[in-house]
Amino acid sequence: MIRRLACTGLTVAVSLVALCARAEDYPTDAEVAGAQGGKVFLGLRSGYALPFGAIEKGGALNDVFNGHVPLWLDVGYKLTPNLLVGLYGQYGFGLIKSADSGDPDGCPSGVDCSGHVIRFGAQVHYQFGPGGTMNPWVGYGFGYEFMSLSMGDGISFGASGFEFALFQLGIDSWVAKGVGIGPFVALSLGQYSDCSAEINGVTGCSLGPQRFHEWLTLGLRGAFEL
């Protein structure tokens, strides 16, 4: 009996030593983050969005906006370790151009001006390295956009339309299990089709020939897998 117990103990000891010797071969919690499907994904983004294109023919978007600062939320589900489907939504704080810069469409001196850009829709992401510490990803989405601005108490303008494409590229660096952070770039392609306006109590609006516009967003994303 004693000999059998000694042999059993020796076998267990050898197994533990071998396991410890190979421990460095196993991935860390950060490395296995995102390596499984069937997980809920949350993303929080912010950065700076640059305007391109036109609101309508003859009316450039960057005649009104210097850009906007988005607060962006991603909600999705990992169908596989690589494939994520979900929704996106953002509220952007618009930065209105000043008329002092020589732009007649800008905010007049001494007037309180503000604007916002709201975008939401569906998206799909493909992750190239879900089991690695660094996880590059690409994405595509489509949705709808609302833009508005006000100049003092008497002038307001809003426009809305479809966002036909949202191209995305980024890298998540997993800093802990289920927690990552990294840079991203996104380019949206949209077109305003409806508008509203009010000038000193008089309402009414019509857009000229429609033109495409783009928002180029550069920023950081926090990634969370639950």
- What's the CATH code of the domain at 47? 2.40.160.20
Highest mean pLDDT among 30-34, 63-67, 134-138: 134-138
> Average pLDDT of 49-76?
94
Residue 14 lies in a domain: no
Residue 73 lies in a domain: yes
Q: What is the pLDDT of residue 101?
A: 66
Q: E-assigned strands of the chain?
A: 40-56, 59-60, 65-78, 83-96, 113-127, 134-151, 155-176, 179-199, 202-203, 212-225
Residue 15 lies in a domain: no
Highest mean pLDDT among 6-20, 24-38, 119-133: 119-133
Q: Who has greater pLDDT, 185 or 112?
A: 185
Residue 11 lies in a domain: no
Phi-psi map region of 152: left, alpha, beta (phi>0 left; psi -120 to 50 alpha): left
Q: What predicted TM-score, i.e. pTM, was given to this entire model? A: 0.82
> Average pLDDT of 36-49?
92
Q: Who has greater pLDDT, 105 or 49?
A: 49
Domain that holds residue 207: 28-225
Record the tokens describing residue 180, joined without a space.
Answer: 């990552």
Highest mean pLDDT among 10-19, 83-92, 202-211: 83-92
Q: Which among 163, 160, 92, 82 is positioned nearest to 122, based on CA atoms?
A: 163
* Per-residue confidence band for 102, with pLDDT thresholds at 50, 70 and 90: low
Q: What is the pLDDT of residue 12?
A: 35
Residue 17 lies in a domain: no
Residue 112 lies in a domain: yes
**Has residue 140 got a pLDDT over 80?**
yes
* Per-residue confidence band for 73, with pLDDT thresholds at 50, 70 and 90: very high
> Average pLDDT of 8-26?
38
Highest mean pLDDT among 38-42, 141-145, 203-207: 141-145
Q: What is the pLDDT of residue 10?
A: 35
Residue 216 lies in a domain: yes
Q: What is the pLDDT of residue 78?
A: 95
> Average pLDDT of 182-186?
98
Secondary structure (3-state) at 166? strand
pLDDT, mean over the chain: 85
Are 216 and 62 in contact, with CB atoms under 8 Å apart? no
Burial 66-91 (b: 16+ CB within 10 A, else e): ebbbbebebebebeebbebebebebb
Record the tokens describing residue 157, joined without a space.
Answer: 């303008």
Total count of domains within the chain = 1
> Average pLDDT of 85-94?
98
For 86, what's the count of Cα atoms within 13 Å in the CB-facing half-sphere?
20
Residue 7 lies in a domain: no
Q: What distance in Å separates the CA atoms of residue 145 and residue 64, rounded to the nearest whole number?
A: 16
